[in-house]
Structure 1
Amino acid sequence: MAVNLTDQDENTPRATVRDAAAAGPDRPELQKAIEDIVASGLSGVTLRVHDERGDWTGSAGVAEMGKAAKPPVDGHVRIGSNTKTFTAALVLRLVADGKIELDAPAVGYLPEFELDDRITVRMLLQHTSGIFNFTGEYYEDGTFAPGIPATTAGKEWVDNRYATYRPEDLVKLALSKSARFEPGADWSYSNTNYVLARLLIERVTGRPVAQEMQRLILGPLGLTGTVAPTTQTEIPAPHAHAYYRYEDDGQERTVDVTSHNPSWISSGGDMISTTRDLQTFVSALLSGRLLPSELVAEMCTPCPTPVPDMGYGLGVFVRDTGRGGTVVTHNGGAAGHAALMFSTRDGSKTLTATLNYVDDADLSLSVPFQNAMQRLVTEVFCDGQADPT
């Protein structure tokens, strides 16, 4: 059941021409990198880089299957788990305002869920709570414990992509499952942590998360291309299209899933943004325009033992480039759309990118996605030189 979004055709050429005119200095190595990424199997890539040479934007591939137009550099895209960085920043703004305490038990804010009283707000943001991931858990022995029906891969996901899920119900499902580990004893990426963070925000402010995000993050930074959609199914124009491939009665089908209800992932990954807005956000966040310096430092401090190698702080990963530098990052994908967000620790050099592709149950593009990410980081943050190790 394909979705026909005609406004894409009307807006893409104008946006592409505008971005091309503002593309900045010639950077053939960056253009080649995104063209190589498309050649690896993705439909389209857009890239925005800000560094000592200025600003550069570019795109490669196509915005829509069967058509020639490139993805608009500042087109809207579902940013997946980059949403977690926005949500963490919002929580920390409320910490700065004295409305939330990082090391207070989360159950004190949300007593109805009867959380383990050892789980703190900090543990939610750094994924050390141990709470089951409502989108399903992969265990070290290779087994998988399924979560909500919406995350069942294949035809079932396609058929149910317009269903609405209440964040409270996502949390309740997760809490009906066994915890993965004792609070603070380990690290495991769980979308449930960030749905709880959303509910915490709404409880202490008395307002919907989208309204608070606009008031404290999007509005002050002028992020006019960023949306916290909650249950909104459409994505603003211009945008590249996202697709999903699955098997039905022995036949392979590819469906346009650009339009779907993101409530199945909630504040674990529902937001929409652009490369320009992501660049503005991550630069402002790390340079101290959004948060006091001590909270920026907290955000960029990886959680302690027993899992120091994960490099996860509060809503961001902190990674060694392998060449004497550090990048702060979060990336994410959502059913045929993905976004990359990287920055130096001071926000002075940034890389933001969007990808559109044909997703599937086998995650067949996961390796090209990871390779694409590493290739771009190497070009921008390591002067094109790979890790010598």
Structure 2
Amino acid sequence: MPVATPDPWRAGSSRAGRLRDVVTRFLAPSPVHPLFPGGVLFAAVDGAVVAHFAFGDAVRYDAARVELPLDQRVPATVETLYDLASLTKTFTAVLALRLVEGGALALDAPVLEYLPSFVDKSAITVRMLLTHTSGLSKDVPLVGASAAARLEHVLREPPVGPAGGGYLYADQNFIALGEIVTHLAGEPLDVLVRQQIAGPLGMARTGFRPPPSLPAAATEGATRGTVHDPSAAAFGGVAGHAGLFATAADVALLARALLAGGGPLLRPSTVDLMRTDANQRFGPAAAHGLGVDVDQAWYMGKLAGHGAFGHTGFTGTSMVCDPRRRIALVLLTNRVHPDATWGNNNPARRAVADAMLA
């Protein structure tokens, strides 16, 4: 008799209606257009799913940013892929910390030790990349005729501040970290994510450069399935700071693993280090662990304040893990469709987080 494959989430739900009411109110024009066309929300408490639903549209506008007739729109579903944007950074951090556990990477070693192209930046350590305290610029130049040339140029860029001198969120940190991981592991980043994170966790719809057969939510204009971030696009769609696509349920599996102590990805002690604020000397606004934000109320709402950790993505994505209350909350939207200047997801992120505690 065949053995049933266990569901990684236990059954259960009582808050879905309230969460749906909260998030769908942002689909109303405010005042001209909605905050986002649509999305998917996944919430779990202590391993029990309390909400998993889609809302709105995956495609609402055409390439000219004109609203489509109702019968031409593509509704969002729980199977819709979303461009994770900077949520990719947390995946890259997990890969790096696996190398730390294996002894191949040292957090306080100079990056130059692993990347010869990292010239004239000998004071910058791996830990500084993970905590955005390297002093590297947040503006990534894209100079070069090929992806390899553009990457080389970025790695050689001089810092704009002293190493360890303050918190400055910069994609360049995780572009470099992705290259370190690739160099030490001897495999491309997309292969490593698939083999070391997506595979072990059963994240069947997570990866870089998704095939056209998988339904992806539109980003700016009506682009679907192509990375929105210009730097990641310039590197061929695979980078340490952006480029991953996933469903909300898949992202929730990563949140669940981190809340459960890291297995099968990391040791509990490594997860504890990952989610501990390493930037206390720079104030609460800079609170950051190794590849995750810590207690940032601007998107975690009332979940912040007791060690909550997570990350956001420019495209309208976010993941929040609250160890104290055992909450995993994932909100994936395509707020950049059809125009990245139309809105900011943070009101919805905070409202959904607050609704988890109502």
TM-score if structure 1 supplies the norm length?
0.74
Measure, in 1, the Cα distance between the counterparts of 2:351 and 2:127: 32
* Deviation by residue 1:40-75 (Cα, 9 ceiling, x = unmatched): 411112111112664311222122223355311231
- CA distance in 1 between partners of 2:155 and 2:39 (Å): 34
- Asked whether the equivalents of residues 164 and 263 of structure 1 are also in contact (C-alpha less than 8 Å), the reply is no
Structure 2 residue corresponding to 1:340, chosen from 303, 307, 318:
318
Match of 2:78 in 1: 73
- 1:258 corresponds in structure 2 to 224
* 1:165 has 2:147 as partner: yes
Q: Give the direction of change, closer, same or farther, for the CA distance of 1:268–1:121 in structure 2 (3 Å limit).
A: same
Report the AA paired with residue 243 of structure 2: D
Choose the corresponding residue for 2:343, options 353, 365, 376.
365
179-188 vs 213-222, which moves further: 213-222
Partner residue, 1:248: none
Aligned in 2, Cα 1:204/1:34: closer, same or farther, shift over 3 Å?
A: same
Aligned-partner Cα distance in 1 for 2:179–2:154? 15
> CA 1:133 to 1:238, structure 2 compared with 1: closer, same or farther past 3 Å?
same
Counterpart mapping for 1:301-320 below 5 A: 301-309=276-284, 310-319=286-295
Q: Output aligned runs, 1:319-334, within 5 Å.
A: 319=295, 322=302, 325-334=306-315
Contact 1:171 1:192 in 2 (8 A): no
Answer whether contact 2:39 2:54 (CA < 8 A) is retained. yes
Q: Percent identity over the alignment?
A: 25
Contact 1:23/1:58, CA 8 A, preserved across alignment? no
> Which of residues 20, 26, 36 in structure 2 aligns to 1:37?
26
Equivalence for 1:278: 251
Aligned counterpart, 2:183: 203
Asked if the contact 2:24/2:55 (under 8 Å) is kept, the reply is yes
AA aligned opposite 2:247: T
Residue 359 of structure 1 deviates from its aligned partner by 4.6
Paired positions, count: 317
CA deviations on 1:312-335 (whole Å, 9 max, x unpaired) are 11110111655764421101024x
Tell me if structure 1 keeps the 8 A contact 2:258–2:271: yes
* Contact 1:283 1:346 (8 Å CA) reproduced: no
- Cα offset for 1:236? 5.0
- In 1, Cα distance between the equivalents of 2:55 and 2:193? 32
Is it true that 1:109 corresponds to 2:114 in the alignment?
yes
Deviating more after overlay: 279-288 vs 66-75: 66-75
Alpha-carbon distance, 1:104 to partner: 0.8
Query: Which deviations, in whole Å up to 9, do the C-alpha atoms of 1:68-126 show, x marking residues without a partner?
Result: 55311231111000000000011001111111111111111112332421111111111
The DSSP-based 3-state class of the residue aligned with 1:263 is helix
Mapped pair 1:185 → 2:165: yes
Which ranges in structure 2 are unaligned for 5 or more consecutive residues? 1-10, 61-67
User: Could you tell me which of 167, 170, 175 is aligned with 2:156?
Assistant: 175
| Residues 203 and 362 of structure 1, relative CA distance in 2, 3 Å threshold | closer
Structure 1's unaligned 5+ residue stretches are 1-21, 136-146, 151-162, 245-254, 385-389
**CA distance in structure 1 between the aligned counterparts of 2:59 and 2:12, rounded to whole angstroms:** 22
1:192/1:79 CA distance change after superposition, 3 Å = same
TM-score (norm 2): 0.80
Aligned mates of 1:313, 1:72 — CA distance in 2:
33
